[in-house]
Amino acid sequence: MQEIGLLNSDIADVISRLGHMDEVIVCDAGFPIPLGVRTVDIALAANKPTVAEVLVEILKYFSVEKIILASETGEHSPSMFKRIVELCGEGVVVETLPHHDFKLHSREVKAIIRTGDFTAYSNVLLVSAGGPRWFVER
């Protein structure tokens, strides 16, 4: 029985299948998930778990080179915007685009992880990185 690491087998499977520059979204409870996109729904109750809580765990095992947030996140939920950026760490590129465009782009991601977060516009698209383990001979 697995007792360490990512215990949710569906999230672990999603992450294990992502390559460099593949994209996954961690979204709030109200995000409209497009038909046909693999979905891991871990919403349990209002604000359980939150987007931030899920990111804390995922980022232990998943390298990210860029994140994309809706511009409305910074306008309507600035503390969430700041928290997501902080969790992803220095060196991660941060981009924004209108929420409408974010939703359109969600049709192209490899998977969406739906949380129980009720913070408005708490959605983040993570772009997979090669990570620090890769050796580059110069």
Question: What is the C-alpha radius of gyration for the chain, rounded to an integer number of angstroms?
Answer: 14
CA dihedral of 70, 72, 75, 77, whole degrees rounded to 10: -80
SS3 67: strand
Catalytic, out of 20, 76, 99, 100:
20
Taking the C-alpha atoms of residue 111 and residue 36, their distance in angstroms, rounded to an integer, is 10
Q: Annotated catalytic, 20?
A: yes
- Residue keyed to tokens 């998930």: 33
> Is the CB of residue 27 less than 8 Å from the CB of residue 122?
yes
SS3 24: strand
Residues belonging to the active site: 20
